[in-house]
Structure 1
């Protein structure tokens, strides 16, 4: 079966201008479009440069046995290390898989520092290059232009600060649950009561970083380990432990930590009222997030999810899940899943005004909205077309 490119791009434009509650989920593909390394490149870099290569290879060997998978990512490695840390309480007298608690703590700390240094260096390069940074600044402008009775909410698994820097570059206010200016602390109640108390203006973007951030750090206080936010450019490797990627244990830790609160926020956002949820740059590799999305599709029939993928592989690999739900549409370069059916693109009826030509590759017969740079260009241009005025 085939489906018209022109008709579907028109439908997307209409959905985005429909004035309903809107949320966005940004996966790694959004940052990769600007040059940030993806999870595979990051994993390979850490494995190559780490002084703990022998221990890391041992963990990878164990992960292969557990997952029946030939490739373990850096997040799999961190999860195993944190399991060891949790069971040994970081004690050097206890060991699991030949790695003691103190070693696992040191390796965890060093891996996160390697990730921090790699991503921070690349992030600075992107921000200083107008062409590389343009997509995030355009996305920030579009997010600020969304005007209805609900604030736009952005969920992301990305550790980097490209989105925060883009919002601040455009002087767009946003809230992420942290309060304070020196060592900002996470205030759970502000996130949970954000609507009930009308505590923030509608035009403030809500930003929820589900896997942590380069400017989050662990700190001990009278209540134990807590997370605070600081200027990540002032980080000193020797005395700050960065908070990225929540291990499985983190989901059940203190309610005062951001991870559980953010996931609760995602569940609440998707289940409440008529909602448009845009997913961009996500490979559907996080089963915890997938469960929240797919459960919400069942429980809220007024939830409309639009997914834009860079490669058809993501669409086809997850086809059995996508076709189960009538209220999710997945757009790939060559295929579409809509209303529970798989379609190929039909390029025979493109608009005569050529507006949509810039978002398709007619020669290659594919649609390019899975590329975050092109997607943000689309957002800016359709907003201008329907009456917006954006200085892109």
Structure 2
């Protein structure tokens, strides 16, 4: 393995407070969740005949044909096309198709009723041990809809904040990311010696529900078909969706965190295919030299040439690594979340 833990996180042996992670769909694959191709196949195969006809109509107008064997065009491209037609025509059939795609995506995530938490538990346990019983904060930015880290945190006994406050029906309040737990002796506040993980879910979650203008979180009724989920559809043009609440506040929070609380960032299972994340969060921080980013990917992202221009960028791929502006001859398996979790173990 050509990448060491100290290369990913210089100074990790002395503390966790300046490290962070950017996780994409690849970190949930080993737990049993589908990647883009399989998600696309699942969604399209479960469309009603009428909605499938509507989808084919949209594709034909663009001289495209859906391939059930390969799941292409993928769900991001399909969602873009459907939304474009609905916005342009305001015809109800396109709105119905957009709503059904959203529902089927949620159904696909919720269909994994017994996800394998092994690697997520191992990851959090490793961080907990590396905190060495001190007050430590680690930030995770993720585009995943699942609740794997929340479930694993319950197994490990780690405090996790996702931007909601309250007992069972938790209201959206990003101020909770800044709250500290501790004890007060007269006028002196002492931080509790524990690991604190902030999870900024940039695209929402299956546990986030909308009630009019309100957004709340509840793990009690994940299977309920009634509430609308507060999540950003897999679309290439996601930027407009992220301008609405709560996503606008989450992006602001992520931007403030990167380069301050998070200076050493490792991306795993993230393809860098979300242009709005690259443009709003990643590239400005690299350009300003405020973060050191190591991308662990199963294949080189399309924007690799642009990323390599910045000295604080490093990368690990199956066949080679890019470290300190140089390509190496050796690859790494750290793009697998299980391998990253193992590397973190003290």
- TM-score, with structure 1 as normaliser: 0.73
Partners of 2:80 and 2:140 lie apart in 1 by 25
1:139-173 per-position Cα deviation (integer Å, ceiling 9, x unaligned): 12123345377510111101111111111122211
Partners of 2:227 and 2:198 lie apart in 1 by 27
Partners of 2:191 and 2:206 lie apart in 1 by 25
Q: Aligned pair count?
A: 321
Partners of 1:78 and 1:295 lie apart in 2 by 28
Residue 110 of structure 2 contacts residue 223 of structure 2 at CA under 8 Å; is this kept in 1?
no
Compare 22-31 and 70-79 and name the one that shifted more: 70-79
The equivalent position to 2:216 in structure 1, one of 228, 245, 266, is 228
1:54 to 2:53 alignment:
yes
Shift of 1:335: 1.1
Residue 273 of structure 1 contacts residue 303 of structure 1 at CA under 8 Å; is this kept in 2?
no
The equivalent position to 2:108 in structure 1, one of 92, 99, 118, is 118
Shift of 1:259: 0.9
Partners of 2:221 and 2:82 lie apart in 1 by 26
> 1:291-370, aligned counterparts within 5 Å?
291=279, 292-299=281-288, 301-311=289-299, 313-314=300-301, 317-345=302-330, 366-370=331-335
Task: Tell me the secondary structure at the aligned position of residue 21 of structure 2.
Answer: strand
Residue 173 of structure 1 contacts residue 204 of structure 1 at CA under 8 Å; is this kept in 2?
yes
Residue 281 of structure 1 contacts residue 309 of structure 1 at CA under 8 Å; is this kept in 2?
yes
1:158 to 2:157 alignment:
no
Change in Cα spacing, 1:37 to 1:199, as seen in structure 2 (3 Å) is farther
1:236-267 per-position Cα deviation (integer Å, ceiling 9, x unaligned): 32x221222254332223xxx22111111221
1:141 corresponds in structure 2 to: 125
> 1:4-83, aligned counterparts within 5 Å?
8=4, 11-12=7-8, 15-19=11-15, 21-51=18-48, 52-60=51-59, 71-82=72-83
1:353 corresponds in structure 2 to: none
Alignment RMSD:
3.0
Task: Tell me the secondary structure at the aligned position of residue 266 of structure 1.
Answer: helix
1:109 corresponds in structure 2 to: 99
1:105-139 per-position Cα deviation (integer Å, ceiling 9, x unaligned): 432332222222222122x232xxxxx32101111
Gaps of 5+ in 2: 65-70, 181-188
Partners of 2:271 and 2:264 lie apart in 1 by 19
- TM-score, with structure 2 as normaliser: 0.81
